[in-house]
Amino acid sequence: MKGLKKILIVDDSPTIRRMVLASLRTLSNTLFDEAGNGLEAIEKLAQEPVDLMILDLNMPGMHGLEVLQFVRSHEKYRNIPVIVLTTKYDADSRASAIANGASFYMTKPFDPTALMAHVSPLLQTK
């Protein structure tokens, strides 16, 4: 299965996770995994590496920014591209996510075509 890419979708909303999956379903050679909160995302990372993460900020328990900081602070994960996909559209949230290492920042509701346009090149560089 050489060449397979894996994307981890992290959002506390099952509906958003389904929408992201539907938006990216045409990606070839790509597997998907889901996490409903930040702690679950970190557990999944520890179990199996991923090539890209799509991460919500507003989640119960562990905020998405904490997940991003964890990913960027660990050698094993620091090069994983992370697209932040959130309802927080204010400049401070965007700046904070980018400063903490987000590869790209998108707000919900999102355009599926725009999401695909950002995911594809990030997967190619991995």
DSSP string for residues in 41-105: HHHHHHHS--SEEEE-S--SSS-HHHHHHHHHHSTTTTTS-EEEEES--SHHHHHHHHHTT-SEE
The pLDDT, as a whole number, for residue 124 is: 83
Mark residue 111 as left, alpha or beta (left: phi above 0; alpha: psi -120 to 50; beta: remaining). beta
Domains of the chain: 5-112 (3.40.50.2300)
Mean pLDDT of the region 8-19: 97
Residue 76, both tokens: 């094993």
Q: What is the reported pTM? A: 0.94
The pLDDT, as a whole number, for residue 1 is: 43
